[in-house]
Amino acid sequence: MGVLTGRTALVTGASRGIGRGIAERLGRDGARVAVHYGRNETAAKETVAAIEAAGGSAFAIGVELGVPGDAEALWEEFDRHADGLDILVNNAGIGSARPIGEITEDDFDRVFAVNVKAPFFLLKHGMTRLRDGGRVVNISSGLARTAVMPDNVAYAMTKGALDVFSRDLSKVLGARGITVNSVAPGIIDTDNTAELLHGSPDGWARAAAYSALGGVGTPADVADVVAFLVSDGGRWVTGSWVDATGGSLT
C-alpha cells in the first residue's frame, strides 16, 4: 500500500517536464492521478502509460488553460472520471523571456492568464470537490525571490502572485485541514530549459554554478518535495514557500 493509496490527485501541465515527474511520483505513491494537458495529448497518454506500467492508476484530461471558461471545462472533464479530489498541484505555466522593452500587452496578459488566473479559478471552482484534509501545491519559481534573470520579469511576477495566493488560501482552507504551499524550483533539466542548458558549450556549467550544490535539478528533485508536502508527513506545513532551487538563492 502506497502512502497515497485511496487518494485522487490532479496535476496540471503533467504531460512533460516537472509536471510529469510529479504525476509519476504521486502515482507510485498510490494516488489515482488526473494528468492534465493543454495540447499534447500524445505526451499526456505517455505519462498515463508510464504511471500504469509502474502499477499505478491515471487518466488524461485535455483542456487549454488561459482562455475563458477553462476552469469550468477542466472540472467538467474531471467529474467524468472521479467524484472528488484530495490533491491539487497547479504546475501548468508558460514563460516569457522577453525584456520589458519588448514584451507586448498580449504577451503579458497571456502569461498572467495561464500562470495566475487559471490556478485561481481552478481553486475557486474546485474547492467543493477538494475533500477535507486535502493538499494544494502551487509550483512557483526561485525567480520570484531573485532578479538574477531580469528578462523574465513578467514570468517572475506571476510566480510572486502565485505565492501570495498560496499564503492567503492557506488561511481560507485551513479550517478544513487542507494545506496550501508553494514549491519553488530553480533551473531544472526539461525541454523548457534545453536552449539554456544545451544551447551553448558552457550552458550547463553556467546553470550549475547558480546552485550551492553545483548541479542542475531534475523533475524528480521537485517531485520528491511535492510528494512530502502532500503526504501525511507534510500535514503541519502550510502557507509556506519551499525553496527547491538546490541552494540557488544562497
Just list the catalytic residues: 140-141, 155, 159
Question: 107, 194, 96: which is closest to 141 by C-alpha?
Answer: 96
What phi and psi values does residue 243 have, to the nearest 5 degrees? -75, 110
Question: 213, 165, 208, 174: which is closest to 189 by C-alpha?
Answer: 208
Strands (E), the chain: 8-11, 32-37, 57-62, 85-90, 130-139, 179-185, 241-244
> Do residues 158 and 115 touch, judged by C-beta distance below 8 A?
yes
- Distance between CA atoms of residues 22 and 57, nearest Å: 14
